[in-house]
Structure 1
Amino acid sequence: MEFRRSRAIVPVLDVLEEAGSTNDVLVSRAAGLPDLAVVLTDNQTGGRGRLGRVWVSPPGKAIAVSVLIKPSGLPVESFGWFPLIAGLAMSRALSPLVPGAVEVKWPNDVLIDGSKVCGILTELLPDLSGLVIGSGVNLTLSADELPTETSTSLLVAGATDIDVDAVLAAYLRHLITLYREFETAGGDPVTSAVRDEVAEACHTIGRSVRVLLPSGDDLLGTAVGIDEDGRLLVETDAGITAVAAGDVTHLRY
C-alpha cells in the first residue's frame, strides 16, 4: 500500500516488509529522525508487549506502528501519559469502524466489547529526549487465529471495510491532536483536558479489578479514577492506592 493519507500527516513514514520490532527499528534510527516519524509493518516477527509478553500475528493480518515523539519542553515525568494518550487516540480511530463499544483499558489496551484489539507499548529513548509509541492492531485475523480468548480483531468485531491507510491516518490525526494539546499545556494533564478525556474513555474506571503489582502482590478493589500522574486509583477497604504499574484484570461479579 502507498499510505497516501497517512503520509500527508507525518514527516516520515517508512513501511517495512518485515520487522522484528518496529519499536526497536525506530529507537535505533531516532537520532536522525524528526518528531512524529513513523515506522510500520504488517509482518512483525518479534513484537513485545508489556511485562515481557510476546506479540506475534500472522503476516498481513495485523499492523505494527511505531511513532517517534520528541516533545518540546515537556518534563520526562509527563511521558507516562503517552500510553494513555495513544490508547485514547486509537479508540477514537477504531470506534467508527465497528458496531460495538470501543474503550480503553488502563494503561495500554484498546478493547471492543471487552476484548482486546490493540496493545500499546511505549519506550523511552536512551538519552531521554523522547519516546517511541508502539501500537499493534488486529485487523483481519479470524476467530481461530486470535492469540487468546479475550482478543478480537476488527474483522471479528464486525468491521466491513478495513482500509489500513484509513485506520492509520485516523489514529495519527487523533494522536497528533492530543499530543499537541498536551505539549501546549506543558504536559499538564488537567489543563490540556487529557486526564478527563482519558478517564471518560477508560473502561477500567468503575469496575472491580485485580492488579498484579510489580512486587508480585495482588491488589483487589474498585478502580475509581486516574490521578494527575496517570496512575490508576484503586479503592479497597484500606483506602485508595495509586497504581503506577501493574497487570490489571477486570473482574466479573
Structure 2
Amino acid sequence: MHLSASRSAVPRLEWLAASPSTNSALVELASGAEAGSWPDLSVVVTDNQTAGRGRLGREWVAPAGRTLAISVLLRPSAGAAALPFDSYGWIPLFAGVAMAEALRPFVDAGRLTSVKWPNDVQVDGLKISGILSELVPGTRDVVVGAGVNLFFAADELPVTTATSLSLVADSEFTVDGVLSAYLRELTGLYGAFVSYGGDAVASGIAQAVTAACGTVNRSVRVELPDGSVVTGTATGLDALGRLVVAPDAHADADAASITDPLVVSAGDVTHLRH
C-alpha cells in the first residue's frame, strides 16, 4: 500500500500484508540483528492482524480489511538522556490522546470522542480503538501498538460495546488519512514528552491526557488484579498517570476497609451510569 502521507510522517514505515501481531513483529525487528536500521518512530502496520493481543493477554482479532493495527517504535534515549522509567506510564496514555485527536476530525461533530483510562478510545462510550505498549527486551525502548476499527458494519461488530469509524464518520476517509493523522499527533506529543525529559506536567502531557480522559469525574467500578472490586469516583490522575479513585461509602464488601483514595495502576475500569 502506498500510504504517501503516512510515510512522510515517520522515518520508516513497513506495510505487512498480514501479521500475527504487529507489536511482536516490531519488538523482534527492533531487537534483532538489524535493530540499528529501525530508528526512533519506525512503524509497522497491517489491516490483517491474525493473532493480536490486548491488555491482560486478551485476544484481539478481526477480519482482514476491517481494522488497522499500528505499532510504533519509540527510542526515547536515542541521542538524549534516558527518560526515567517511572515516566513510561504516560506513554500509552498520550498514545490514546493521539488516536482520539486523529479520529476526531472524521467523527460526526455531534458525537463525543474521548479516552477511557487506561487504553481505550471511545466514541459516545463505544470502543473504537485500543492501545497496548510493551518494552523491547534488554532496552529502554517501547513499542506502542494501536488497533482501530475502521470498516465494520453494525452487524459485524464483535461486541455491543464497540463501534467503527465507518459507523460514526460524517465524511469519507482513507487508511492513509487516518494513519497519517495518528502518526502526526503521536509524534507531536512524544516529541514534547521527550524534550522535557519525561516530565508530564512541564511538557503539557498531563493536561492533555486529563482533558481527553472521559474517566475523570466519572463514577467507576474498578476490578483490581487481586479480584477485589471498588466502586467510586475517578477524581484524576497522579504524577505517574495512575487513576485516583475516591471509593464510595458503600463500597463492596471485599473493599469495605478502603476509605483513603485508591491509586490504580492496573485493573479493569468500567464507567457507571447513575
Give the shorter-chain TM-score range.
Answer: over 0.9
Question: 2:190 is paired with a residue of what secondary structure?
Answer: helix
2: CA distance, partners of 1:39 / 1:76:
24
Match of 2:173 in 1: 162
Native 8 Å contact 1:76 1:128 kept in 2: no
**How many aligned residue pairs are there?**
253
Deviates more, 1:76-85 or 1:106-115: 76-85
Deviates more, 1:97-106 or 1:236-245: 236-245
Match of 2:218 in 1: 207
Question: 2:96 is paired with a residue of what secondary structure?
Answer: helix
Native 8 Å contact 1:139 1:162 kept in 2: no
Q: Is 1:144 aligned with 2:165?
A: no
Native 8 Å contact 1:13 1:39 kept in 2: yes
Question: 2:122 is paired with a residue of what secondary structure?
Answer: strand
2: CA distance, partners of 1:71 / 1:141:
35
Deviation of residue 248 (structure 1)? 0.5
Q: Is 1:64 aligned with 2:75?
A: no
Q: 1:93 aligns with which of 73, 96, 102?
A: 102
TM-score by length of 1: 0.98
Question: 1:156 is paired with a residue of what secondary structure?
Answer: helix
Deviation of residue 159 (structure 1)? 4.1
Match of 1:37 in 2: 42
2: CA distance, partners of 1:55 / 1:159:
27
Native 8 Å contact 1:62 1:136 kept in 2: yes
Q: Is 1:248 aligned with 2:269?
A: yes
Give per-residue Cα distances to partners, 1:218-238, cap 9 Å, x unaligned: 111000100110000000141
Q: Is 1:81 aligned with 2:82?
A: no
Deviation of residue 128 (structure 1)? 3.2
Q: Is 1:175 aligned with 2:180?
A: no
Percentage of identical aligned residues? 53
2: CA distance, partners of 1:56 / 1:162:
23
Structure 1 stretches of 4+ moved >2 Å: none
Give per-residue Cα distances to partners, 1:13-59, cap 9 Å, x unaligned: 00000000000000000031111110000000000000111111110
Match of 2:54 in 1: 49
Q: Which runs of 5+ in 1 are unaligned?
A: none
Q: How does 1:99-138 map to 2 (within 5 A)?
A: 99=108, 100-138=111-149
Report the AA paired with residue 174 of structure 1. Answer: E
Q: 1:218 aligns with which of 223, 229, 237?
A: 229
1: CA distance, partners of 2:234 / 2:142:
28
Match of 1:6 in 2: 6
Report the AA paired with residue 166 of structure 1. Answer: G
Match of 2:254 in 1: none
TM-score by length of 2: 0.91
Report the AA paired with residue 89 of structure 1. Answer: A
CA RMSD of aligned residues (A): 0.9
Deviation of residue 192 (structure 1)? 0.7
Give per-residue Cα distances to partners, 1:194-234, cap 9 Å, x unaligned: 11110011000111101111111111100010011000000
2: CA distance, partners of 1:129 / 1:239:
34
Question: 1:155 is paired with a residue of what secondary structure?
Answer: helix
Q: Which runs of 5+ in 2 are unaligned?
A: 250-258
Deviation of residue 133 (structure 1)? 0.4
Which of structures 1 and 2 has the bigger CA Rg? 2
